[in-house]
Amino acid sequence: MAKFGKWIGAGLGWAFAGPLGAILGFAFGSLIDTTQHDMPVSDRTTTTGDFIASLLVLIASVMKADGRVMKSELDYVKKYFIQSFGPETASEALQMLRDILKQDIPVSEVCLQIRQRMDYASRMQLVHFLLGIADADGQVDQVEFALILKISGFLGIEQNDMASLKEMFVKSSDWAYKMLDIEPSATDEEIKQAYRKMAVKHHPDKVAYLGEDIKAKANEKFKKINEAYNALKKSRGIV
């Protein structure tokens, strides 16, 4: 079994309970270690398995947003997972995703469970993944984006953080300012302060506990923040 199966089969904590558990129990079957059900949910912290399982369910909800699931979308997801986690892991993930797609997904209830159990930095990383997959063909579908926007709200992601994440994939003319969550009228000192704040908020180490693969994806956002700051320093001549 590839790493993905191990993440899910041996790594589920709180995700086996609630609406997520109902979906995962059908999709993953024997991969879920039933001995985990004897352990109190309140004592479980978020594991890599919880994160990946949550991601798969949210991906399925986005793919079903327009009422149809196309082969091209599955191909995009597979490509994205290959880039993120490797080919063997991607193959297992795709099979699980197909099973999840057969079910009705109570998005708001699923998001509430995730919000209650997962820290803010990891929830932002979920949205980051969803936007990346939606943009896998080089264009973010508006129906899919509308649902991702709703999901971010259900997950408790602040609007300014969502706007900053969006700029990674759909750049506006003032993208660097939005990336740092400031207005173009900001002073040089305010730009420096905003950069330091965002660098701390989105540092990859905040999700390091989920594993090197997910930390590496989080580093993409960190790099974009530095790119935005360097762009503003150059255009403004900030020392």
Among 107, 134, 157, identify where a domain stops: 157
Question: For residue 215, what are its two tokens?
Answer: 């930390």
Q: What is the pLDDT tens value at each position of the chain, 239 positions in all?
A: 456 666 666 567 888 888 988 888 776 654 444 434 444 444 458 888 889 889 999 999 988 887 777 777 788 788 888 887 888 878 888 888 888 988 889 999 999 999 999 999 999 999 998 988 887 766 777 888 899 999 999 999 999 899 888 888 877 888 999 999 999 999 999 999 999 999 998 999 999 988 888 888 889 889 999 999 999 999 988 86
**Whether residues 75 and 34 fall in one domain:** yes
Among 157, 192, 224, identify where a domain stops: 157
Q: Are 30 and 38 in contact (CB under 8 A)?
A: no
Residue 137 is given by DSSP the state T
Residue type, 185: S
pTM of the model: 0.83
**Whether residues 181 and 97 fall in one domain:** no
As a whole number of angstroms, the distance between CA 56 and CA 62 comes to: 10
